[in-house]
Amino acid sequence: MGRVLMFQGTGSDVGKSLVVAGLCRALTNRGFRVRPFKPQNMSNNAAVTADGGEIGRAQALQARACRVEPSVHMNPVLLKPQNEIGSQIVVQGRVVGSAKAREYQAWKPRLMAQVMESFALCKAEADLVLVEGAGSAAEINLRAHDIANMGFARAANAPVVLIGDIDRGGVFAQIVGTRAVLDPADAAQIAGFLVNKFRGDPTLFADGMARIEALSGWPSLGLIPHFAGARRLPAEDSVALDRPPPPGDGAATIVVPHLPHIANFDDFDPLRAEPGVRLIIAARGMPLPSADLVILPGSKATIADLKALRGEGWDIDILAHVRRGGKVLGLCGGYQMLGRSVADPQGIEGPPETVPGLGLLDVTTVLGGPKTLTRIAGKCLGAPFAGYEIHVGRTEGSAPPLLVFDDGRRDGAVSPDDRVRGCYAHGLFGVDAQRRTWLDWIGAKASGLNYEVEVEETLDGLAAHLERHVQVEALLGLAR
């Protein structure tokens, strides 16, 4: 039966997911059987497991760091936001319903049993389970019936390491303030803290670490310098999309509109890694910049995002882009938007309605039926691909297909002039030969990047980084 150690944060995007991924690889390299676990996740970036379930993308990366297949039990509760106040609820890989934020609080007590069941299954096959919390450990307004942070830690008797982010400022208040607002019994679960994303000479912050120790009463377990390679690993929080694009010196420009419910945006990480590509995530409130290719991304709420796209005037920008000879690709929800219409007769995403699409592909979409969750492989544009499908609805029409699966099924659509393409497949750009065909389509120069090798090397680099700057032996001593 494995030991357990939990990592919670002073807020979102403090680096919990990457710290856990790096420690998963470091301890796996030491010969331990390690498993990641996140009781509750909120993300529209999902991965499909081998048995046709879905979990948060971060836990799939952490499983990869452990060199094991991802399992639905590594993330038993996944919340997928559909609007400002409500989310789809996925339990042990399957959609079980939707709820508004207030309604979801009533779900938590009955979900805890399934969380603990999945945790026991992960623990049974591991020497060590590294648990990632969600958001902030100090969300005391959500403490009743909590299953994501201290509620789980107390139920599992898991020691907690608190992670603060010095890069965003206020790290003293982050950590000491967390101690101040926590219930004493919850505070007693915390066994130490880490300060993440430090830049500069670490010796200059030695006094700062000592001050945090004195004020919080918790021991320091490490000051982690900023890890530049983090940008090469899939991000889960959409705040990562707000980073500025690289300089455009001679690079082909690919623009992705930042839709309110953008999903599975790790599709674009391999393109971002190409030195000959300038990937721009276009912020709302601005026109779409000039581009060689516009990609409409996946969406958790296709109709709402299609309306938002029109509200920004981006539909006008895209149609003008095509008239000028520009090219467009739609992925999953973005593919649905490119057709003649999107219908939601059952009210899956909101009130039942049918809305016109952009009319760039001769297809129509009807939302409904069982959710498609499957890994896929085949050929697209003459090159092999592998990835996954994760969507609700069927898209049909007379346009020629874009890709062919290994079992002979066909998917996607291509416009008569081949300027507009769309499909349900996620993960196309992660396959090097496939990515080259898309770069050729827009006249961009491929670099010879081996993306999967780069991810592996980055995980190993992250593990070595944490071995240098974190008291790993002390962490192992805390696990119980």
Alpha-carbon gap, residue 433 to 90, rounded angstroms = 34
Alpha-carbon gap, residue 251 to 277, rounded angstroms = 5
Concatenating the DSSP letter of every residue in 29-86 gives HTT--EEEE-SEEE-S-EEE-TTS-EEEHHHHHHHHHTTS---GGGSSEEEEE-SSSE
How many CB atoms lie under 10 A from the CB of residue 345? Answer: 11
Q: What are phi and psi of 478, to 5 degrees?
A: -80, -30
Alpha-carbon gap, residue 388 to 425, rounded angstroms = 6
Q: Any idea which residues carry the catalytic annotation? A: 332, 426
Q: How far is CA 80 from CA 135, 158, 428, in A?
A: 15, 26, 22
Decide: 274 and 315 in contact? Cβ < 8 Å: no
Which structure tokens are listed for 140? 């005391």
Decide: 225 and 469 in contact? Cβ < 8 Å: yes
DSSP letter assigned to residue 186: H
Decide: 268 and 256 in contact? Cβ < 8 Å: yes
Closest CA to 161 of 2, 3, 4: 4
